Amino acid sequence: MSKTKPSKPRPRFKEERQRKGTQLRVATDLGVTETFLRMLENGQAAPSVPLMFKASRYFNVDVYELWPDLAGERPEIKM
């Protein structure tokens, strides 16, 4: 859980959080403070890698969609 430079808000994160409920409820479910959750939504903080994946599972959303500014390019898988 490190702070980063202010960046763009994460609209997909916010949409999914609103579907689940209040910032307090989601923060509690994810094991973070309400303040930190708000910072995540606004792009003012970066989650730890475990939290990135925990939130992705919690919202049932691909990590690349939930954290587009942190996940980077989706690797191309060739079969």
> pLDDT tens for residues 1-17?
545 455 688 999 999 99
Residue of 36 and 4 predicted with greater confidence: 36
- pLDDT-derived band of residue 74, with 50, 70 and 90 as boundaries? low
According to DSSP, the β-strands at 45-46 and 2-3 are: antiparallel
d(CA 20, CA 4): 25
Question: 20 by DSSP, 3-state: which?
Answer: helix
Q: Which tokens go with 45?
A: 């903080």
d(CA 30, CA 23): 10
CATH of domain 2-70: 1.10.260.40
Share in percent of the chain as helix, strand, coil (round to 5): 55, 5, 40
